Amino acid sequence: KKVLKSLFLVVAGLLVFLSGLFPGTLTGFAAENKDQSTVVDVKAMTFNLRYKNNNDPSPHTWDERVPTIKRLIDMENPDIIGTQEVLYTQLQDLENTLPKYNWIGLGREGGNRGEYSAIFYKEKDYTVLEYDHFWLSDTPEVIGSKTWGNNIPRMVTWAKFLDKKSNQQFYFVNTHFDHQSANAREKSAELIKEVTKKFDPELPVILTGDFNAGPDSLPHQILTSDGAFDDLWETAETRINEELGTFNGFVDPTGKGP
């Protein structure tokens, strides 16, 4: 069974409003792939940053949220962060705000267009050995493709990392499922499960995202069935707070900002 020695999960879709969701709904989670023996030690975070919406009122504008995002990330100090909803201009701001981190990603409409599911990582501690993207559709290699009833493209960014200290390798997969189409969410889970089965079976796979689905949903069941992934919300040894959720309506989890 795949076991991560010390994967401290921070579910951090916290600073942002997740459109189309309801308070108390678990929509962002991380999971580890089963059935292998390699051990790695990594602190991972999944974080829906909310896209930069010029209609957001103060104090919820992007410029006003950046300092709070920085405080939270500095406080939790994750090694790797799977982000959702982030636009290229926001990535540029975060580059300046989070100098310890580099990132990989691609806009869901190609190039720097559309939202990213970018992966941030501590460059001094990790090397990206390979990375790629695929779209959650019947034609995953086609940029911007959508065929499952979703009105906007959905995608996955993944990377194979080397931990420079331990010399261990692992995969990190990040995504954002559709918020409207149940069919798209279910097929997205099936595709991710299919793709990750082709990864090196000796290496751990960490999956993060905003799945727009609860723990009793069919996408969750698909991902955790047949020995595929463990939901770390259920299995993590360390929690910040048992009541911690993935929706907060712009309430600052650090207690120090707007």
DSSP class of residue 192?
A: H
pLDDT of residue 13: 28
Residue 216: inside a domain: yes
Residue 258: inside a domain: no
Residue 48: inside a domain: yes
pLDDT band at 16 (very low <50, low <70, confident <90, very high): very low
Q: For 172-193, what is the mean pLDDT?
A: 97
Task: Report how far residue 7's alpha carbon sits from residue 22's, in angstroms, rounded to the nearest whole number.
Answer: 28
pLDDT band at 2 (very low <50, low <70, confident <90, very high): very low
Give the model confidence (pLDDT) of 204-243 as tens digits: 999 999 999 988 999 999 999 988 898 887 887 766 665 6
Range of the domain at 139: 8-235
Residue 145: inside a domain: yes
Residue 244: inside a domain: no
pLDDT of residue 69: 92
CATH number of the domain to which 51 belongs:
3.60.10.10
Give the model confidence (pLDDT) of 93-114 as tens digits: 999 999 999 999 999 999 999 9
pLDDT of residue 41: 87
Q: Quick one: angle between helices 62-76 and 88-97, nearest 10?
A: 50
Residue 3: inside a domain: no
pLDDT of residue 233: 79
CA 188 to chain centre: 14
Residue 207: inside a domain: yes
pTM of the full structure: 0.84
pLDDT band at 157 (very low <50, low <70, confident <90, very high): very high
| Count of domains observed in the chain | 1
Could you tell me the two tokens for 171?
């995969």
Residue 121: inside a domain: yes
pLDDT band at 71 (very low <50, low <70, confident <90, very high): very high
Task: Report how far residue 42's alpha carbon sits from residue 121's, in angstroms, rounded to the nearest whole number.
Answer: 11
Q: For 64-86, what is the mean pLDDT?
A: 94
Structural contact between residues 233 and 29, judged by C-beta atoms closer than 8 angstroms: yes
